């Protein structure tokens, strides 16, 4: 098992008039050939989008794109007729497949805080699709599957990965087993802290990239929120 801890201060921050985006991997104007992906995980952006602003129509292909909304609402529209508005606690998945165009707009009066995650698909040139679900009332003090390429009660994605969200109201010790067929675990802390069995601690904005792993022992402090991704190479 190999563990890489990347502190919050090392995130690349792109400042725009209407957008503040923290890139955890190379993206747009940020390019680091040593930080292109972690297994099939290609993009993880921590975005704050101003009211009545957003991303106009733009193209994608052959990527699984997952959006987790933490605060506010984001509205999606695509060239295949898909439309949806996803609020706080909700998630959307989009399989770009052989190609589509879409927009993501904050039509509300408050800023939107969301994570956008791109994972390379297991198969290219599939038919584009999107789906969404409200996860506002997920059980607390667990890691709950939000999107999965396996047999979970979650949004389906066409890649060998599982995205979990955890909201911990109380101190919790958790044994996490990486899903068979993945072998790598990525973790990003929204708030609170997570202690690893190695003795390292993650705090808000920190990330861990753990490769060649089957079982992780994790200790979450009260008030912690976290995203965990099991992902294949």
Report the pLDDT value the prediction gives residue 14, as an integer from 0 to 100.
97
Q: What is the mean pLDDT of the chain?
A: 97
Could you tell me the CA-to-CA distances from 197 to 121, 148, 155, 188, 202 in Å, in that order? 31, 26, 30, 16, 12
Instruction: For domain 2-231, give the CATH superfamily.
Output: Jelly Rolls (2.60.120.10)
What is the residue extent of each domain of the chain?
2-231
Instruction: State the average pLDDT over residues 93-108.
Output: 97
Question: Does 151 score more than 90 pLDDT?
Answer: no
Instruction: State the average pLDDT over residues 6-17.
Output: 97
Distance CA 189, CA 202 (A): 7
Instruction: State the average pLDDT over residues 134-146.
Output: 96
Eight-state DSSP code of residue 29: T
3 state DSSP class of 28: coil
Report the pLDDT value the prediction gives residue 113, as an integer from 0 to 100.
98
Distance CA 108, CA 85 (A): 11
Residue 70's pLDDT band (boundaries 50, 70, 90)? very high
3 state DSSP class of 130: strand
Q: Summarize pLDDT for 71-86 with one digit per residue, the tens.
A: 999 999 999 998 999 9
């Amino acid at each position: 098992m190999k563990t890489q801890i990347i502190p919050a201060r090392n995130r690349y921050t792109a400042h725009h008039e209407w957008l503040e985006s923290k890139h955890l991997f190379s993206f747009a104007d940020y390019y680091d050939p040593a930080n292109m992906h972690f297994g099939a995980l290609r993009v993880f952006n921590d975005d704050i989008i101003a009211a009545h602003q957003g991303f106009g129509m733009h193209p994608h292909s052959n990527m699984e794109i997952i959006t987790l909304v933490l605060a506010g609402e984001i509205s999606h529209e695509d060239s295949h007729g898909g439309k949806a508005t996803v609020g706080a606690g909700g998630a959307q998945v989009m399989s770009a497949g052989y190609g589509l165009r879409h927009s993501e707009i904050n039509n509300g009066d408050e800023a939107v805080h969301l994570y956008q995650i791109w994972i390379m698909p297991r198969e290219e040139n599939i038919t584009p699709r999107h789906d969404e679900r409200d996860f506002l009332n997920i059980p607390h003090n667990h890691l709950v599957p939000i999107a999965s390429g396996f047999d979970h009660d979650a949004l389906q994605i066409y890649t060998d990965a599982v995205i979990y969200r955890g909201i911990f109201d109380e101190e919790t010790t958790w044994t996490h087993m990486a899903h068979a067929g993945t072998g790598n675990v990525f973790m990003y802390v929204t708030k609170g802290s997570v202690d690893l069995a190695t003795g390292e601690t993650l705090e808000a904005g920190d990330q861990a990239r753990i490769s060649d792993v089957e079982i992780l022992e994790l200790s979450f402090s009260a008030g912690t929120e976290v995203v965990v991704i099991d992902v294949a190479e």
